[in-house]
Chains A and B, each alone.
Chain A
Amino acid sequence: MAEVRVKTKAAVPSGQPAPEEIREQRRYLDLGLTDAEYERVCERLGRLPNYVEAGLFGVLWSEHCSYKSSKIHLRKFPTSGPQVLQGPGENAGVVDVGGGLAVAFKMESHNHPSAVEPYQGAATGVGGILRDVFTMGARPIAFLDSLRFGPLTDERTRYLFANVVAGIGGYGNCVGIPTVGGETAFDESYRHNPLVNAMCVGVLEADKMAKGAARGVGNPVFVVGARTGRDGIHGATFASAEDPTEKERSAVQVGDPFLGKLLMEACLELIATGAVVGIQDMGAAGLASSSAEMAARAGGGLELNLDLVPVREEGMTPYEMMLSESQERMLVVMERGREELAFSILRKWGLEVAEIGRVTSDGRLRLRFAGEVVADVPVAALVDEAPVYDRPADTKYAKPGLAVAKPDLPAGDADAWAQHLLALLAHPSIADKRWVYRQYDTSVRTATQVGPGSDAAVLRLPGAARAVALATDGNGRYVYLNPRRGGAIAVAEAARNLVASGARPLAITDCLNFGNPEKPAVMRQFIDAVEGMAEACRALDTPVVSGNVSFYNESQGQDIFPTPVVGAIGVIDDLTRVTEAAFRAADSAVILVGPIDAALDGSLFWQLLAGQPAGDAPPLDLALERRVQDLVRSLIRAGRVRSAHDVSEGGLAVALTEMAIAGGVGATVTLPVTPRDALQRAGLLFSEAQSRILLEVDCASAQDIVQEAGQAGVTALVLGKTGGDAVSIGGDDGVWLTLPLAAAQAAYEGALPQAMQAPSARGEADA
């Protein structure tokens, strides 16, 4: 191993402080390092870091890259199982879906950039997660997006919403991958901190996985794709800063979906040659994190010559090159001697490529520039030895909804109850999302069997008689009211959505969107939510294979609802058994699988009455959840279910009406109860109690199904029949409400378009 002397002084470009100045003037604070972290860097290096080195530690030890506040808690997630081919730690998780195929998937947040520059923030979020997936050697087949915004009565919210949706479509449509699902919810809590979580799913042959490890001493390292510019420097540290109003637009990158598409095609072609040793997207913290992480995974080192990095402008410093977050760039390690293969493929796609270094065995990240060594640090110190914090958490979470008084609800006539239902149907969180997904290409690649609007999207897999089902879920209100149960519900509901479409849930990815982790109350929310999720993952056999954490979603001291979002995937191995949420026919029986419940805890109905989230999180029993899911899945597999829909936000009444609207067929149902008062009646209609699925089945088999459910330890009740052009719901005491389908449809389908027609919704238009 050659002796290398770091000529720190000689390598300091003008305007950059010398190592001593960094210490004396505490310049490391600007680079994202705390006093203690800076001391730790000095100790580990045995000397003072120069500016480039301090910058490397600043970004790699940022919350965004190092997960320093969440790491010890994320270890509680189950991450393995016979279906798991790749768990957390790679660019994406990979699960076996049978038939020799595997699916790579991951979800990632792009909340902070989207709050500042919604179109590009969302577009680059989509581009980034796309690269994470094709890096695994997987052909991307679908996007899903989970979005949260403030109320649409707010003009800036309409601007953010319109442009986030346009940005997602702008990138996804151009790269030719269908956006097939997701969810969008609106609550005051997200007014200043919208959430934009993008998920990508790709398919690969199970034995052809690519990895992000820089192996093989002497192998060449290439930068492929866009040139490196000054855009997005400090994106990672910026994401960990507090107030989006203070965040700079200039720290947001600009996406080029055409280049993203070329990069995807070229990299897939390149990986297929077998000559790629390791490959990684240059995402957050750019070249710094991609090189360090690739070296760390291989347990080796890298030496890079920054003079060879193709740049957009002259005079870029090593610091800027390492931290640039210019989009559409990949770091690729090839087998020595097979470079020409790479060049010919990249040339065909018109892509720029530069050999910038080689793999070493000394475990160091060494950077050369203008004849000097400008950084020389142990890879392990950057990646594996990043600080890990067990941040203080409140010992007990004070459930904020328990103090809310029960609502005083007038008895009301049938018309008043129909109005309650209409109000829920027209609430933007429940209302039809066609306004959103109409802007996404949902059918390109001709594999979409079920697109947006049902419980889960279903995509056929190429060359196999099987399909994957995809869904995202996560209700911040539930987690705010009871983090542990709310976290469990996010997993349970995502899996339930898959089951309702006929799939067997396999695994999940997640985006954990929380407030400021330096607040003990937020840490308590985080810890409890993770534990609840882990518990549900174990109960439902859906390990976590990838994901990300987004902290500091706060503004003016106000944190968002803690919002873990779950992206779940399942497999369907009989294409004739794909089930949707739309009623298929008149004169079918309608069955409720799962308990009749009148608890209004956590419901949107109660929140709208109280003006704040109220009660506990909705009831959930994970053992029952498992039984319900197993039962419904076996009924669907046996071909005994015409349509199925998860009972979620808005409760039984909304779920039933959604099935009717989607199918264009009404229904008349009667619950076998006489409510003692208006509140209990409201609960029966609008409770968001978990583990419930509505089924449409042949009348002739309805009683058998109820019996089989009983044997499986699950309550099931025949509630009524489909038919007619209204939804009618009642109890033993008579009809409670009747809502003509046309009125329901008008409210449900009209809500978002009407809200978005308000003046200046387009605001600052396209970027």
Chain B
Amino acid sequence: MRWAVIVFPGSNCDEDAALAIDRVLGDAVDLVWHDQRDLSAYDAIILPGGFSYGDYLRSGAIARFAPAVAGVREAVQRGALVLGICNGFQVLTEAGLLPGALLVNDHLQFCCELAELQVENTKTPFTLDYAAGERIRIPIAHRDGRYHADAATLTRLRREQRIAFRYVQNPNGSAQDIAGVLGANGRVLGLMPHPERAVAEWMRSADGARMFTSMHRFVEQQGASLAASAEGVGRLG
């Protein structure tokens, strides 16, 4: 399968994501510059962590206007997998591809630590390889990570089983301890924790690796890899 990692000028986890895919799966992965709209070659697209355009306004508020995000929107339409990590999650909510918003942490500080998560739904393309009710450890590193949505949205998310992960100990005041949510079609996941930083024991946890193996297995099982021509896609240094 073929992966894209979108690179905004202020992305800083783009190479980590590509490296994790290479470490865990050995799949083909391209770093795709933010001005590229055509993402039709990709089975899965990652919006990585970082500070897309500095995020001096609201995290992700400018990134949603990027050509690549228009491409992501089209990819969602055709059912490709989209994974937004940290800043990528913020971008997806700003773009309206996921419900809710990420507010500044309730303690108003940046917070970086290994967080324990409860896997809430193992029937998604991102969580197939986790066990039901399993607790995993994945690092968080953010200042604007407090998930917020109105009561009706939260109820709908719960009813539709679109809460993918919850924090075991809420680190930022997120509504209902939510760490990651799914889009309406179940093919989009946004989460604040960084699975790409937990793919080897020496990183303190290898639990993130199974998010990538899940996505890989889902795409392979679908059989029909979406038109995977690599032409015209340059790998960025």
Contacts and interface: CB of A to CB of B under 8 A. Distances in A.
A269 interface: yes
Nearest to B17: A446
Contacts of B223: none
A89 interface: no
B196 interface: yes
11 contacts: A173-B112, A174-B51, A261-B9, A269-B237, A438-B113, A442-B112, A442-B141, A443-B141, A444-B49, A444-B141, A449-B203
Interface in A251-285: 256-259, 261-262, 265, 269, 272
A173 B56 contact: no
A265 B9 CA distance: 9
Given A169-B110, A174-B54, A449-B202, A443 B194 contact: yes
Given A174-B10, A349-B9, A446 B196 contact: yes
Most chain B beta carbons < 10 A, residue from A258, A439, A441: A441
B184 to A, nearest CB: 31
B218 interface: no
A72 interface: no
Nearest to B143: A173
Nearest to A169: B110
B141 A258 contact: no
A406 interface: no
Given A174-B12, A261-B9, A444-B13, 8 more contacts: A166-B109, A170-B110, A257-B54, A258-B10, A258-B53, A262-B10, A438-B111, A443-B194
Interface of B: 9-13, 15-16, 19-20, 49-51, 53-56, 108-113, 139, 141, 143, 194, 196-197, 199, 202-203, 237
Contacts of B56: 258
Contacts of B110: 166, 169-170, 173, 438-441
A259 B10 CA distance: 9
Contact of B112 (A175, A272, A441): A441
A672 interface: no
Interface string A421-462: 000000000000000011111111110110000000000100
Interface string A410-427: 000000000000000000
A575 interface: yes
A440 B113 CA distance: 9
Interface of A: 166, 169-170, 173-176, 256-259, 261-262, 265, 269, 272, 349-350, 437-446, 448-449, 460, 575, 762
Nearest to A177: B12
Nearest to B7: A265
Contacts of A257: 51, 54
Contacts of A262: 9-10
Nearest to B111: A438
Contacts of B19: 446
A446 B20 contact: yes
A258 B54 contact: yes
A445 B12 CA distance: 8
Contacts of B139: 443
Given A173-B110, A258-B51, A438-B109, A443 B203 contact: yes
Contacts of A445: 12, 15-16
B13 to A, nearest CB: 6
Nearest to A172: B110
Nearest to B19: A446
A336 B65 CA distance: 38
A261 B202 contact: no
Contact of B50 (A176, A442, A460): A176
Most chain A beta carbons < 10 A, residue from B53, B56, B109: B109
A438 B115 CA distance: 12
A276 to B, nearest CB: 16
A575 B201 CA distance: 12
B174 to A, nearest CB: 17
A584 B9 CA distance: 42
Contact of A175 (B12, B15, B49, B109): B12
A365 to B, nearest CB: 34
A441 B111 CA distance: 8
Contacts of A449: 202-203
A440 B20 CA distance: 22
Given A174-B51, A258-B51, A261-B10, A443 B112 contact: yes
A762 B112 CA distance: 20
A173 B10 CA distance: 11
Nearest to B10: A258
A444 B12 contact: yes
Given A166-B109, A441-B110, A443-B139, A350 B203 contact: no
Contacts of B13: 176, 444
Contacts of B203: 443, 446, 448-449
A258 B54 CA distance: 5
A269 B236 CA distance: 11
Contacts of A173: 110, 112, 141, 143
Nearest to B13: A444
Contacts of A437: 112
A437 B113 CA distance: 9
Given A441-B110, A443-B112, A176 B9 contact: no
